[in-house]
Each structure stands twice: as structure tokens, then as C-alpha cells.
């Protein structure tokens, strides 16, 4: 049975400081104080030690507690990504790392397509809009419109959280033009338009995962190829992924590990009657970077659903952060 949670209704904007109304408190203990008298500094410390579900509940207590927790990000919580499935329009099902289920309503995800997920942020395409979105605080950062078609299944990665001043977004997709060209679109924070680069590719392959490492973006291309795009010289290189051998030549090592079927454990059984298209993410465990690729789960089912792997984080934005 799934529990119900209510995502933040303030759209991720830092709240104004409330004016506290001190209410009479009657107690026979002269040292007793009401919860409403807790200082903001203590509330802020408490909030910083809460996971996502506890933080959402904490913020729902009152306006004072919500204000005191605006810096809390739930980063103390799970290091593993959670599974967020769009069941019907804005009705979603959230599955945590222990397979506990939560019902949640997120209107922004209705008719949206997620092309990238990391750091607790989703990169979404919706109609003519392109924007970063934190699904649990509903914080939103609008970007310039991406110059590519959704029908060619773009895949994105970003160098850091979109609130960072040095954030770079990179999106790759098969070109809408005739031929086998592939388009790479890049956008630096503060820029008003995307920069487009093209190279020859193979339309029979699709992009199904991405990550950033050392000033380069890596995109998994089909089953056994990787496209590397260097931010510095704007060059793209196609690599074939091979298994190392003891007597073979020394080859470059891919700076990540790939997670595929292991991510389906527990998900296939919970959504037996639905065919799910997932957007993957990146996680770091014991200093090792792992990529969860985009996948198709239960492909034989008639009901079609979208889902995303996302880190359970919570962000509120200052006015400066909410503008790209």
C-alpha cells in the first residue's frame, strides 16, 4: 500500500520570514517551553539532518518551520536514486530504495519528457519549454528552448547542479535532417541560446545514457559505443567499448561503470501491467561513478508509462538561482 505525500506548494521559492505570534503557554513546569518557541537556528540544524520524506513533513508543520528549513536539501538521506513513475497525467508513484511506495501529485510532469536526471534535478521538455525541475520542492529553472525534436529521443547530462555558476548542459540526439548526422547542443549557465555541433552517426543506434567527467560529456550510443564530447575543443570522438583482456593492448578506461538489469529488480514486479520508458541517472558509490541507462521495462504490456530515476533531494531557490 502506498502512502500519500504532498510536495511543496510554494514552487521552490525561498519563503518570506513569518511574523511569529506568541501564544500563551500554560505548564506547571517552569522550564517547559512550547514547540513554537524553538529558535530558528535550532530548527535549521534539525532540518539539515532529515531525509526527504521527513523534511517534507517537517515543513508542513507551520510557516516558522518551513522558513527555518529553506536551506535543507535532504542530502543526509539516501545516496541511492528513487524511482518516480508517472501513472496518469500528474498522478505519480514514488518508490524509495527499500521499495516503499508513495502517492504524489506533480502537475509539472503531466505531458513532460525527462531527458536528463542528476543531483536531484530533472531536465524536462514540455511543449515548447525546456526547464530544470526539482519534483519534490517544485523549484523550476527555465532554459532557452532546445532546438531539437522530441521524436528523436534526446539524452542530456549536466556538469553540475543547475544552480552552480559553472553549470554546462549537453544534449545529444539523432538529427532531424536527412542522413546519419548527430546533433550535440550545449548551453552554459547565463547563456541565452544553445550552441549546436554536428557529426556523422548511425540512426540505427539510440542514445541511452550520459555522464560528465573532467571537462567531457560521455554518451552511451547503442550497445557497445560511446560518444565523447570535449567541452574545451568542442570535438566529438566515437569509441567502441570492449572487454579488457590480459594479453591485449592497453586501452583507455571508461571513467564509470554501467548499471542495467540490476536496476530492474523490484520494479518489474511492481509495474507488471505497464510498459515503462525510464530516464536514467548517475550515482557515486565508494568513489566509483555509475550510470543507470535509459531502459524499456515490461515492453510487452499494453499500458504505456514514463518514469525517471531521481535522487531524493529538496531545493528552494533564491531569485538569483531561479534565473538561468
DSSP 79: S
The answer to whether 73 and 22 are in contact (CB under 8 A) is no
Instruction: Tell me the per-residue pLDDT of 72-90, one tens digit each, with 9 for 90 and over.
Output: 999 876 778 999 999 998 9
Q: Given pLDDT bands bounded at 50, 70 and 90, which one contains residue 229?
A: very high
Instruction: Tell me the per-residue pLDDT of 10-45, one tens digit each, with 9 for 90 and over.
Output: 555 555 555 555 555 555 666 666 776 788 899 999
Q: In what order do the strands lie in the sheet with 139-143?
A: 113-118, 121-126, 129-134, 139-143
Instruction: Tell me the per-residue pLDDT of 188-224, one tens digit each, with 9 for 90 and over.
Output: 999 999 999 988 877 778 899 999 999 999 999 987 8
Q: Given pLDDT bands bounded at 50, 70 and 90, which one contains residue 300?
A: confident
Which residue would you say has higher pLDDT here, 10 or 117? 117
pLDDT given at position 199:
85
pLDDT given at position 150:
47
Average pLDDT along the chain: 85
pLDDT given at position 179:
64
Please tell me the chain's helix, strand, coil percentages from 3-state DSSP, rounded to the nearest 5: 10, 40, 50
Q: Given pLDDT bands bounded at 50, 70 and 90, which one contains residue 107?
A: very high
Percent of the chain with pLDDT over 90: 51
Q: Read out DSSP for 252-299?
A: PPPSSEEE-GGGGTTHHHHTTTEEEEEE-EEEEETTEEEEE--EEEST
Q: Given pLDDT bands bounded at 50, 70 and 90, which one contains residue 271?
A: confident
Three-class SS of 116-178: EEECCEEEEEECCEEEEEECCCCEEEEECCCCCCHHHCCEEEECCCCCCCCCEEEEEEECCCC
Which residue matches cell numbers 523534511?
55
Amino acid at each position: 500500500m502506498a502512502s500519500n505525500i504532498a510536495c511543496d506548494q510554494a514552487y521552490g521559492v525561498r519563503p518570506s520570514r513569518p511574523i511569529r505570534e506568541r501564544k500563551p503557554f500554560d505548564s506547571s513546569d517552569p522550564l517547559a517551553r512550547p514547540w513554537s518557541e524553538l529558535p530558528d537556528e535550532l530548527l535549521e540544524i534539525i532540518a539539515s539532518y532529515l531525509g526527504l520524506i521527513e523534511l517534507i513533513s517537517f515543513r508542513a508543520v507551520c510557516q516558522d518551520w518551513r522558513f527555518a528549513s529553506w536551506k535543507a536539501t535532504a542530502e543526509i538521506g539516501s545516496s541511492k536514486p528513487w524511482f518516480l513513475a508517472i501513472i496518469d497525467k500528474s498522478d505519480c508513484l514514488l518508490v524509495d530504495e527499500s521499495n516503499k511506495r508513495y502517492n504524489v501529485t506533480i502537475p509539472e510532469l503531466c505531458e513532460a519528457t525527462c531527458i536528463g536526471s542528476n543531483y536531484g534535478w530533472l531536465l524536462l521538455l514540455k511543449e515548447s519549454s525546456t526547464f530544470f525541475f526539482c519534483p519534490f520542492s517544485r523549484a523550476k529553472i527555465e532554459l532557452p528552448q532546445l532546438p531539437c525534436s522530441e521524436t528523436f529521443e534526446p539524452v542530456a547530462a549536466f556538469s553540475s547542479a543547475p544552480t552552480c555558476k559553472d553549470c554546462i548542459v549537453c544534449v545529444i540526439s539523432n538529427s532531424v535532417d536527412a542522413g546519419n548526422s548527430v546533433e550535440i547542443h550545449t548551453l552554459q549557465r547565463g547563456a541565452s541560446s544553445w550552441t549546436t555541433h554536428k557529426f556523422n552517426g548511425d540512426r540505427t543506434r539510440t542514445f541511452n545514457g550520459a555522464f560528465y567527467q573532467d571537462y567531457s560529456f560521455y554518451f552511451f550510443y547503442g550497445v557497445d559505443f560511446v560518444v565523447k564530447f570535449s567541452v574545451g575543443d568542442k570535438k566529438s570522438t566515437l569509441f567502441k567499448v570492449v572487454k579488457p583482456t590480459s594479453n591485449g593492448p592497453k586501452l583507455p578506461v571508461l571513467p564509470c561503470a554501467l548499471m542495467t538489469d540490476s536496476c530492474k529488480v523490484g520494479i518489474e514486479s511492481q509495474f507488471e501491467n505497464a510498459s515503462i520508458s525510464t530516464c536514467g541517472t548517475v550515482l557515486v558509490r565508494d568513489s566509483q561513478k555509475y550510470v543507470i541507462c535509459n531502459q524499456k521495462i515490461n515492453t510487452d504490456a499494453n499500458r504505456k508509462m514514463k518514469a525517471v530515476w531521481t535522487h531524493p533531494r529538496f531545493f528552494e531557490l533564491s531569485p538569483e538561482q531561479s534565473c538561468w
